[in-house]
Amino acid sequence: MDLAAATKPVTVFSGGADELIFSDRLHEAVGERATIRIIDGINHMGIISAPAAVSIIADDVATTGLSS
């Protein structure tokens, strides 16, 4: 992902139980270029398939807006 090229705010979502990505170290990789949201209890595939994760992400998009 090319965060440096982003022209709008970026949020990176990750599951707190992700078995492939160290969610607690995302800030080291992303720095201040994006907001990081960790969803507790969600694994790697659950970030796109678990109803709780989808709801949290949809709510973020609805309240933040795609055009902000």
**Number of domains the chain is built from:** 1
Would you say residue 2 lies in a domain?
A: no
Range of the domain at 21: 7-64
Would you call 23 exposed, middle or buried from its count of C-beta atoms within 10 A (0-12, 13-18, 19+)? buried
Q: Can you tell me the distance from the alpha carbon of 41 to that of 17, in angstroms, rounded to the nearest whole number?
A: 5
Q: Which residues of 31-41 are buried (b: 16+ CB within 10 A; e: fewer)?
A: eeebebeebee
Q: What local confidence, expressed as pLDDT, does residue 9 receive? A: 84
pLDDT in tens, 8-23: 888 999 999 999 999 8
Does residue 35 register a pLDDT over 70? yes
Q: To the nearest whole number, what is the mean pLDDT of the chain?
A: 89
Q: What local confidence, expressed as pLDDT, does residue 33 receive? A: 84
Would you say residue 44 lies in a domain?
A: yes
Q: What local confidence, expressed as pLDDT, does residue 29 receive? A: 86
Would you call 44 exposed, middle or buried from its count of C-beta atoms within 10 A (0-12, 13-18, 19+)? middle
Q: pLDDT above 90 covers what percent of the chain? A: 57
